[in-house]
Amino acid sequence: MVLDPAGYSVVEWTDYVNLGLAVFGTIPILWDEKSWQDWAAAVIALPGISAFNPPNPFNYSQWQLWADDFNKAVDINL
């Protein structure tokens, strides 16, 4: 199951997604929505997540577009 980012703020979405990602290691908490790309870069750097070949967040200007592509690449159970 993936968490569709529609209807959530980036902070809300990352809070929910962090629950499912925790099996891969320590996931940072996103406090400032402007830092979503840094949060995403830290997440995709985890070996268990990088194995899915997730998209680079710095190639996106909108977090929702990145989150949609991340959901397509990374198989997690929330």
* Sequence ranges of the domains in the chain: 10-73
Closest CA to 26 of 8, 48, 7: 48
pLDDT of residue 78 exceeding 60, the answer is no
pLDDT of residue 46: 95
Tokens representing residue 27 in the block: 């996931």
pLDDT of residue 1 exceeding 60, the answer is no
User: Helices 63-73 and 10-21 meet at what angle, rounded to 10?
Assistant: 20
pLDDT tens digits, one per residue of 22-66: 899 999 999 999 999 999 999 999 999 999 999 999 999 999 999
Tokens representing residue 56 in the block: 């680079």
- Taking the CA of residue 15 as centre, how many other CA atoms within 13 Å lie in the half-sphere pointing to its CB? 8
